[in-house]
């Protein structure tokens, strides 16, 4: 018997004595959780899915969510460009209006535009922003700040986010913008370890952390305090680093367990926001995927993708219990032009005798599961490895072997440490696509190590490829199709019944 007929009979049998208690499909979304993978382009997504399938024998949470069928092909094109920075992409998600690159919450004329978070605040919904970047960084900032340039001082942006809004949950890094000039962050947030400490980035004497407490925020700076506070706090401000929260693999290697994972932060935020009678809007950013891409560091990037995916899992688990929740996962752009390729080797690979008895002879070497395992087994970022080497080729060879398992030669190590007269590293003859000097030493190391892997990169910057956008819950079917990412904003507004 077809399931539908069976359900009909069951409903008939209960109709006389009691109203059929079959769960009602919610008609609109009461809660919205928007996950933004910063730098999670289609190739990055494919890396995560492949690694989970081939090495771990499982599906990513994101793959499961995509399999629901509410999956779209999104382009993040900002105003009059095919390539976006994180500020414009997030502004478009937040406002539904095209934005110029490097702007936050303003339209192409420069006028302030209302964000989803502001709309939610106006309607009495609870709101939250969770990230592993500085809270003042582009993605989170685009939901609760308005500036023609994202590069105004961090304190200007964070002051807007904290004191011109009433965001109930703010979790991330960037505490240095909230402590008075001339002070260290740890003087105000004792949970911050030395490695994540830093000097104030304010130019005034304001102690914004105490002011936030005065506004009703419970302020926490480590994962244990976060877990505890989320049980009772009405408003929660979690600051886990002076700047960005460290890469997952570096935190592990350095024994830094003070900062929560993105999954823990998401759980904590949901616990607080779920107490809101009127529903909530929450944005969660996996921001360090992008930095792994800027560094051309595939292993670090993979670990960040897996961390983000675990946070998405927390969103899905919440949605199962609260079906009136719309969960959306999207990205703002790809980073680095990452891909996996095959290589010509000196001689042909070893022939294999197949079960048929025939001999299979490849002409070219293709990667396999073991090459993906190298990424999974990486225990420190290229940035960390380079810092540890301190410019010494001998130490670089050692650190690369220890943290990646790859044996680079002394010549390769010397090549990876070449710097120009100003101390800058350039991964290519032409530095045109490697403008971000902070990432360049890591990119040069990546180029050198590429001789031992199948991982290739085309730039140190952002790329223009398609972004997978998908979700579950009321209104998620609106995510099907091909569109510019302003549509994601419209899907959310449709789902909450605003359009
Ligand atoms: Zn970026």
Q: The tokens of 445 are what?
A: 């190391």
- Cβ-contact 188, 209 below 8 angstroms: yes
Please indicate, yes or no, whether residues 109 and 129 belong to a single structural domain of this protein.
yes
Total number of domains in the chain: 2
Asked if residue 372 belongs to a domain, the reply is yes
One domain, residues 152 and 246 = yes
Helix/strand number for the chain, H first, E second: 19, 16
Q: What is the residue range of 77's domain?
A: 31-337+462-495
Cα of 356 vs centre of ligand 1, distance in Å, is 50
What's the gap in Å between 149 CA and the centre of ligand 1? 15
Contact 386, 446 (CB under 8 A): no
Residues 393 and 481 in one domain: no
Interval 359-408: pLDDT, tens: 999 989 999 999 999 999 999 999 999 999 999 999 999 999 999 999 99
How far does the centroid of ligand 1 lie from the alpha carbon of residue 294, in Å?
A: 7
What's the 311 CA to ligand 1 centre distance in angstroms?
A: 20
Question: pLDDT, tens digit, for every residue of 418-441?
Answer: 998 888 888 766 677 887 778 899
The phi, psi pair for 152, rounded to 5°, reads: -65, 165
Distance 93 CA to ligand 1 centre (A): 16
> Cα of 78 to ligand 1 centre, how many Å?
15
What tokens does 71 get? 């999956």
Looking at the fold, whether 332 and 346 belong to one and the same domain comes out as: no
Predicted TM-score of the model (pTM): 0.93
- Residue 148 sits in the same domain as residue 170: yes
**Torsions phi, psi of 445, nearest 5?**
-60, -40
Q: Please name every residue paired with 328 in a beta bridge, in sequence order, or none if there are none.
A: 34, 471
Do residues 134 and 280 both lie within one domain? Answer: yes
Where are the extended beta strands (E) located within 76-213? Answer: 126-134, 169-173
User: What's the gap in Å between 89 CA and the centre of ligand 1?
Assistant: 11
How many angstroms is it from 497 CA to the middle of ligand 1? 33
Rg of the chain, C-alpha, whole Å: 24
Report the separation in Å between the CA atom of 38 and the middle of ligand 1, taken as the mean of its atom positions: 7
Q: What strands, in cross-sheet order, belong to the sheet with 467-472? A: 217-220, 235-239, 169-173, 126-134, 280-286, 31-37, 325-331, 467-472, 71-75, 481-484
pLDDT in tens, 181-239: 999 999 999 989 999 999 999 999 999 999 999 999 999 999 999 999 999 999 999 99
CA of 27 to the centre of ligand 1 (A): 37
Q: Which residues lie closer than 8 Å to 456 by C-beta, 6 or more apart?
A: 338, 339, 340, 341, 450
Q: Is 4 domain-assigned? A: no
Instruction: Please give the distance, rounded to the nearest whole angstrom, from the Cα atom of residue 240 to the centre of ligand 1.
Output: 21
């Amino acid at each position: 018997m077809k399931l539908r007929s069976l359900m009909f009979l069951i409903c008939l049998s209960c109709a006389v004595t009691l109203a059929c208690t079959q769960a009602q499909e919610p008609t609109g979304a009461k809660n919205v959780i928007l996950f933004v993978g910063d730098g999670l382009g289609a190739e990055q997504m494919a890396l995560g899915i492949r690694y989970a399938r081939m090495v771990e024998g499982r599906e990513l949470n994101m793959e499961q969510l995509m399999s629901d069928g509410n999956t779209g092909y999104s382009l993040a094109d900002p105003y009059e460009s095919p390539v976006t920075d994180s500020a414009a992409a997030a502004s478009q998600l937040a406002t539904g209006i095209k934005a110029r690159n490097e702007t936050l919450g303003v339209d192409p004329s420069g006028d302030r535009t209302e964000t989803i978070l502001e709309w939610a605040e106006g309607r009495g919904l609870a709101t939250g922003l969770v990230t592993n970047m500085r809270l003042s960084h582009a993605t989170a900032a685009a939901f609760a700040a308005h500036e023609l340039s994202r590069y105004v001082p961090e304190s200007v942006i964070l002051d807007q986010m904290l004191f011109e809004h009433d965001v109930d949950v703010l979790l991330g890094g960037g505490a240095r913008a909230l402590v008075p000039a001339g002070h260290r962050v740890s003087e105000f947030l004792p949970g911050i370890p030395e490695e994540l400490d830093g000097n104030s980035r304010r130019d005034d004497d304001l102690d914004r952390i105490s002011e936030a407490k005065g506004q009703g925020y419970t302020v926490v700076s480590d994962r244990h305090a976060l877990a505890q506070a989320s049980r009772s706090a009405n408003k929660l401000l979690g600051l886990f680093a002076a700047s960005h929260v460290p890469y997952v693999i570096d935190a592990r290697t350095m024994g830094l367990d003070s900062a929560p994972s993105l999954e823990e932060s998401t759980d904590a935020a949901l616990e607080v926001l779920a107490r809101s009678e009127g529903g909530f809007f929450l944005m969660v950013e996996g921001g360090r995927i992008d930095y792994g891409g800027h560094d051309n560091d595939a292993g670090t990037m993979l670990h960040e993708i897996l961390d983000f995916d675990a946070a998405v899992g927390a969103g899905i688990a919440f949605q199962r219990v609260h079906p009136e929740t719309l969960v959306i996962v999207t990205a703002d752009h790809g980073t680095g032009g990452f891909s996996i390729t095959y290589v010509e080797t000196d001689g042909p690979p070893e022939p294999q005798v197949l079960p048929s008895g025939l001999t299979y002879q490849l002409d070219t070497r293709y990667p396999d599961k073991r090459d993906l395992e190298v990424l999974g087994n990486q225990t420190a970022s290229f940035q960390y490895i380079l810092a540890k080497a301190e410019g010494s080729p001998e130490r670089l060879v050692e650190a690369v072997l220890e943290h990646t398992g790859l044996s680079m030669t002394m010549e390769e190590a010397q090549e990876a440490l070449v710097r120009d007269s100003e101390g800058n590293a350039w991964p290519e003859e032409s530095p045109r696509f490697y403008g971000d000097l902070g990432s360049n030493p890591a990119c040069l190391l990546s180029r050198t190590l590429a001789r031992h892997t199948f991982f290739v990169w085309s730039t140190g910057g952002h790329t223009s490829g398609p972004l997978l956008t998908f979700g579950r819950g009321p209104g998620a079917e609106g995510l099907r199709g091909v569109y510019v990412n302003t549509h994601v904003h419209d899907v959310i507004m449709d789902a909450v019944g605003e359009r």
